[in-house]
Chain A
Amino acid sequence: MNTIQKIQADIIEDFELFDDWMQKYEYLIDLGKELAPIKEQYKTKDNLIKGCQSRVWLHAEHTEGKIIFTADSDAIMTKGIVAILINVLSNQEPKDIATAKLDFINEIGLKEQLSATRANGLVSMIKKMKLYAIAFNN
């Protein structure tokens, strides 16, 4: 089990503690509030993710063989989801990010909690993270 899988297993375990949507949402809100801030200079038009109804910025840096993602959103629950993705994929090696299977999204019921349009935003964000990984891997 690599680190990405281990982190995902932990997240699934966390979400199993919740009985209803409200607790899940409150947890997402907390995660959103705790997400490390992105540097203001990276909140650019180019870093905006397409497909989200709220604005999401994603920045990637390649240091010491790993990719560090930072991100932000103007909607707090989106930010919570972004925080989970960063938790899973940031500070990992490009090849692991590029090949990561993100099972946790279905396992924790994240996708079904989201409207179709927002799920699209989620898909775009994952796609962008993986594209960075592929680019940095080459």
Chain B
Amino acid sequence: MLDLKQIRKQFPILSRKVNGHDLVYFDNGATTQKPDSVIAAESNYYQNENSNVHRGVHFLSGLATDKFEETRITIQNFINAKHSHEIIFTKGTTDSINIVASGYRSLLNKGDEIIISELEHHSNIVPWQMCCEQSGATLKVIPLLDNGTLDMAEFGNLLSKNTKLVSIAHISNTLGTINPIEKIIEKAKAVGAKVLIDGAQAASHISINMQSLDADFYCFSAHKLYGPTGVGILYGKEDVLNELPAYQGGGEMIKEVSFKKTTYAGLPHKFEAGTPNIAGVVAFKAAINFITGLGINNIAKHEEELLKYATEEVLKIEGLRIYGTAKNKSAIISFNINELHPYDIGMIVDKMGIAVRTGHHCTQPIMDKFNIPGTARISLAVYNTKDEIDICIKAIKKAKIMLS
């Protein structure tokens, strides 16, 4: 059982007022708030540890490098990767996907196929479209069923010996659907395709284990995981990462440079050109420790309870429709009320201190599928409470009255 009072105390922003009301932060799918430990780690880095990482002989450079590499090990353990050099530090999930998609431009040819799905975030669509444009490969899309789950029968039909890569979200940021990635990976492997899982919405909510999952690539961002913005990881299996062409050229990623020929460094440095967000990476460790300190399964259980309660309560509002009603669902509720525009609802509840996201959530194909301009989205995190859900529902009801 989690001590919510104690957890909330660790997040200074949760005690601020917004528009004269206590903040109710239900936009965790976009980014989570940060605990004291993460803020302190970032600040302490600049106060006591700052120097550029790797190759330095002096004390601080060694310290910064140690701290930086400690996070890599922490993440390795967090996702149970086989090797720490299978963890590449990136700017975030989008950057991670682009590294892979960019590498695949030269690995794919005409006739090859990439499979994504209709529920993907734009950042798991556009990089593949760019990859296909340049490589001549074809993009195939697994359609969505009305309940917001993937049409797995159609996925089976799309798979063939031409399928080279399958790139799928672990959890839909708009619908909350937890995709059956174990099954997807198994089926993709059967035709020899590689698999990338976009774990942006998953890593802070459910336990992930690279060695049992067998995905070739997995990625997520620190900022959706109680960590700082501008940092994320790309996990890749050692052999797969070795085959993937380098992304950006620069310092750190080289072995030897001459004007005749430059050779690249090994993993993970091959994909880490330039000075990284060292402070962010250092603070990332504190974020992971925050999660493991509470226990990811305890977090999942708490969020499941919140989701169940919030779903029951919002459905009491007449005319409210939830998009995404999968059985296996994360704590995300996307909804509309009758013909009301989600933006109007968001504007009004904001005045009552409640942060929900409105719009297409960077998933326009889902909006097209349901023929709606957008939704209002509640996305929950470990520090949210049933009391906050009650406050939010009251505000939504008020908005409905004002707008009807």
B-binding residues in A (CB < 8 A): 21-22, 25-26, 29, 53-55, 74-78, 115, 118
What is the 8 Å Cβ interface bit string for chain B, positions 335-349, against chain A (1 contact, 0 not)?
000001101100110
Cβ of A75 and Cβ of B344 under 8 Å apart? Answer: yes
Write the nearest CB–CB distance from A70 to chain B, whole angstroms. Answer: 19
Residue ID in chain B nearest A54 by CB atoms: B343
A25 near B402 with CB under 8 A, answer yes
Contact: A75 with B348, CB < 8 Å?
A: no
CB < 8 Å: which of B348, B351, B373 contacts A54? B373
Q: Would you list the 10 A-B pairs with minimal beta carbon distance, nearest first?
A: A75-B341, A75-B343, A54-B343, A75-B344, A77-B344, A21-B351, A76-B344, A74-B341, A53-B343, A53-B359
Q: Which residues of A contact B340 (CB under 8 A)?
A: 76
A126 to B340, CA, bound (A): 25
Taken together as a complex, chains A and B put the C-alpha atoms of A56 and B55 apart, in Å, by 55
Q: In the complex, are the beta carbons of A76 and B348 less than 8 A apart?
A: no
Contact of A29 among B19, B359, B373, B402 (CB under 8 A): B402
- The number of chain B residues touching the other chain, given as a range, is 10 to 19
Q: How far is the CB of A81 from chain B (nearest CB, A)?
A: 11
Residues on A with beta carbons closer than 8 Å to the beta carbon of B402: 22, 25-26, 29
Residue contact A76 to B341, C-beta cutoff 8 Å: yes
Report the minimum CB–CB distance from B143 to chain A (whole Å).
26
- Is B240 among interface residues, defined by CB-CB distance under 8 A? no
Q: How many residue pairs bridge A and B at CB < 8 Å?
A: 38
Q: Which residue in chain A gives the minimum CB-CB distance to B339? A: A74
CA distance A26 to B403 in the complex (A): 8
Bound-state CA distance A121–B351 (Å) is 20
B204 at the interface (CB under 8 A from A): no
The answer to whether B373 and A55 have CB atoms under 8 Å apart is yes
Which residues of B (355-404) have their CB < 8 Å from a CB of A?
Answer: 358-359, 373-374, 402-403
Whether the pair B343, A22 counts as a contact (CB closer than 8 A) is no
CB pair B373–A77 under 8 Å, yes or no, is no
Minimum distance in angstroms from A10 CB to a CB of chain B: 24
Q: Which of B11-44 contact A (CB under 8 A)?
A: 19
B350 CB to closest chain A CB, in angstroms? 8
**Further 13 A-B residue pairs, CB within 8 A, beyond A22-B351, A22-B402, A54-B341:** A21-B351, A25-B348, A25-B351, A53-B358, A53-B374, A54-B343, A55-B373, A74-B373, A75-B341, A75-B344, A76-B340, A77-B347, A78-B344
For A25, what are the chain B residues with a Cβ–Cβ distance below 8 Å? 347-348, 351, 402
Residues of chain B in range 243-300 having any CB-CB distance to chain A below 8 Å: none
Query: Which residues, 77 to 117 on B, are CB-close (under 8 Å) to A?
Result: none
What are 13 A-B interface contacts by the 8 Å CB criterion?
Answer: A22-B351, A25-B348, A26-B402, A53-B374, A55-B373, A74-B373, A75-B341, A75-B344, A76-B341, A76-B403, A77-B343, A77-B347, A115-B347
Q: Name the B residues within 8 Å of A75 (CB-CB).
A: 341, 343-344
**Complex: chain B residue closest to A77, CB-CB:** B344
What is the CB-to-nearest-CB distance from B142 to chain A, in angstroms, rounded to a whole number? 28
A75 to B350, CA, bound (A): 16
Contact code string B146-182 (vs A, CB < 8 Å = 1, else 0):
0000000000000000000000000000000000000
Residues of B within 8 A of A26 (CB): 402
